[in-house]
Amino acid sequence: KEILSHQKADTIIVAVIDTGIEVSHDEFKNIFWRNKNEIPNNGIDDDNNGYIDDTNGWNFLGNSKGENVLISNYESTRFMRLYDTIFKNKDKSYFKGKDTLLYKQYKLVFEEYNSQLKSAKKTLDQFVKAYNDYEKLAQALKPYFPNEKFTIEKLNEIKTDNDSLNYFIGEAKKCVRYNINKDWFEYKKKWAAVRYEKHLGTTGYNESDIIGDNPNTILDKGYGNGNIHGEKLTNYHSTQVTGVLAGNRSDKFGVKGIANSIKIMPIRLAALGSERDKDIALAIRYAVDNGAKVINMSFRNDFSTHREWVDAAIKYADTKDVLLITAAGNESVDTDIQFNYPNDQIENEIDFVENFIVVGASSYKNNLVSNFSNYGKNSVDIFAPGEDIYTSNTDNTYSFIDGTS
């Protein structure tokens, strides 16, 4: 208070590259960056930056018709789609130079993808069976429970010598005990199918078909739309992160963010699945070119299909004196051994830029490092409080959250 009381704070633009965001939250009044050179909703790229109607930021997950991606492939799916025909059933002796390193990565991705595929298929089969079994149970007990509202008391009243019916009565009691109903089975079956069919692309699903771009060329830009809001299913994450950054410090309710001398630039590229390298690279460049001095990236991938694009964007931000901060991840792994992407390291553990900070989560409880946080002597730069953080949430609410984000 003594040193800074007479100093006027500079307003800093912080780009939040993340999910959509609940812009109408009471905590977020007057905190968003405004592109003064863009006239809203006129369908014209007024500032000639390649993005039409980017009034408050940009959404790389949409198209010009207003359609948006909710579910995306895993990065392992994209990698396999791109390289499987090149490397499948071939020995490393076929390849030389950089192709040898790419082949080595392909083998790692191949193992991971097929492991995910096997696990996802098993889970889907289990929940399809469980759902069908529940349907049989409901049908058998329909004379007693026409609305499927089972109670232990009424189930106990059913007296029968029919072994099959007694089995269903026992299973219905389990459902009551664990608060499981038809909707629960349907929900589990639905998301097991999403993982197998869409995340892993077994039905040919590709989010780029919705976006309408070519994901394998960085020169194909300008796709997306100005919808930074997102769907309730995903926009909780950016809403939480933004509350920590810029929650109103002047009012007497809610949360107090780190600073109110900042403007938030929302950039949307995270759906349910893995982020695309192309979107990450272009999002960093968009933030830099539009005046952001800090870029917050709270996402991670196990693999990188086009790492060279992301690395080039990170270096570009470095030349413009823009700081990038990213979350270490929440898998309790040593990222010196198991790489996270994006990162700023080359194989000999040397950082290739000076503007990239990886943040792990620290605990106020028993250990310095939170038990969920990734860690690494070379790959994680700093730890910050990441448990029971009170912040804004969707539907204009607040909650305590954990995570390296």
Rounded CA separation 386/62 (Å):
31
* Residues 6 or more apart in contact with residue 8 via CB below 8 angstroms: none
pLDDT(347) > 70: no
Per DSSP, 195 falls in state: I
Mind listing the pLDDT tens digit for each residue in 126-178?
999 999 999 999 999 999 999 999 999 999 999 999 999 999 999 999 999 99
Determine the average pLDDT of the residues in 8-19. 94
Mind listing the pLDDT tens digit for each residue in 354-397?
999 999 999 998 778 999 999 999 999 999 999 999 999 999 99
Mind listing the pLDDT tens digit for each residue in 38-75?
999 999 999 999 999 999 999 999 999 999 999 999 99
Mind listing the pLDDT tens digit for each residue in 254-270?
999 998 899 999 999 99
Residue pair 106/82 in contact (Cβ under 8 Å)? The answer is no
Residue pair 351/344 in contact (Cβ under 8 Å)? The answer is yes
pLDDT band at residue 350 under the 50/70/90 scheme? confident
Cβ neighbours, 10 Å, residue 336: 15
Buried-state track 150-161, b at ≥16 Cβ within 10 A, e below 16: beeeebeebeee
Rounded CA separation 311/262 (Å):
26
Tell how far CA 210 is from the center of its chain. Answer: 18
Mind listing the pLDDT tens digit for each residue in 270-318?
999 999 999 999 999 999 999 999 999 999 999 999 999 999 999 999 9
Determine the average pLDDT of the residues in 9-14. 93
What is the reported pLDDT for 260? 87
What is the reported pLDDT for 194? 98
- Pairing mode of beta strands 389-393, 397-401: antiparallel
* Residues 6 or more apart in contact with residue 170 via CB below 8 angstroms: none
pLDDT(348) > 60: no
What is the reported pLDDT for 365? 86
Residue with tokens 């001398």: 261
pTM for the whole structure: 0.93
Residue 98 is which amino acid? K
Mind listing the pLDDT tens digit for each residue in 73-121?
999 999 999 999 999 888 888 888 888 888 998 999 999 999 999 999 9
What is the reported pLDDT for 366? 75
Which runs of consecutive H residues, i.e. helices, occur in 162-212? 163-177, 182-194, 208-211
What is the reported pLDDT for 3? 86
Rounded CA separation 359/168 (Å):
51
Residue 13 is which amino acid? I
State whether residue 46 is helix, strand or coil. Answer: coil
Residue 359 token pair: 């943040």
% of the chain at pLDDT higher than 70: 99
Q: Which domains does the chain have, with CATH numbers?
A: 12-72+217-401 (3.40.50.200), 81-199 (no CATH)
Rounded CA separation 192/286 (Å):
35
What is the reported pLDDT for 5? 82
Mean pLDDT of the chain: 94
What is the reported pLDDT for 177? 96
